Homo-oligomer: A and B are copies of this chain.
Amino acid sequence: MRGIRQIFDDLVRFETVLWAEVDARLRRQCTLSLGSLNVMMVVDATPDCRVYDIARALEITVGGASQAVDRLESAGRCARRANPADRRSSLIELTGAGRTLLGEAVAVFDEELDRLLREPLGQGDLDRLGTTLATLRRAASGAGPQP
């Protein structure tokens, strides 16, 4: 009998190890943290990307997303430009150097995901995991905190 606490534990601890290992390799090979890579992937995939869009995609606060963009901008990897449609916000874009770095980093990222997710499971179990996680995320994000 696997208790539900054990499942929580394996979920959280595996996520910790997965994050730490991918992060360590990205820092060594690309001088880029996994947190920053995640932000860059959202910026790259979102047309007219605002700080708010990053916060929602990564399930972090708007304040945290603003600071993450600050760090990327200081490193010359993204830039804020004026939003012609709404002067309260900026549109965030990758710089040329940012796009180049992103290409290198996602290659490393995919290698690590293969090693730590696909190889231990195989494609069938991996697909079932994906379906299950999508269900869980939809339920948790949709319901919101219990009032």
Q: Are A59 and B16 in contact (CB under 8 A)?
A: yes
Q: Are A4 and B110 in contact (CB under 8 A)?
A: yes
**Beta-carbon nearest neighbor of A13 in chain B:** B59
- Given A24-B145, A58-B13, A59-B16: A4 in contact with B113 (beta carbons within 8 A): yes
In the complex the two chains form, what is the Cα distance from A18 to B46 in whole Å?
25
Residue A48, interface by CB 8 Å:
no
Q: Tell me how many residues of A have a C-beta within 8 Å of chain B.
A: 54
> How does the 8 Å CB contact mask read for A5-36 relative to B, with 1 for contact and 0 for none?
11110111111111111001100000000000
Q: Which 3 A-B pairs have the closest CB atoms?
A: A120-B139, A10-B133, A14-B137
Residues of the B chain whose Cβ atoms lie less than 8 Å from the Cβ of A139: 116, 119-120
Residues of the B chain whose Cβ atoms lie less than 8 Å from the Cβ of A2: 127, 130-131, 134
Residues of the B chain whose Cβ atoms lie less than 8 Å from the Cβ of A141: 13, 17
Residues of the B chain whose Cβ atoms lie less than 8 Å from the Cβ of A126: 4, 7
Residue A74, interface by CB 8 Å:
no
Residue A125, interface by CB 8 Å:
yes
Q: Are A140 and B18 in contact (CB under 8 A)?
A: yes
Residues of the B chain whose Cβ atoms lie less than 8 Å from the Cβ of A127: 2
Q: Are A128 and B132 in contact (CB under 8 A)?
A: yes
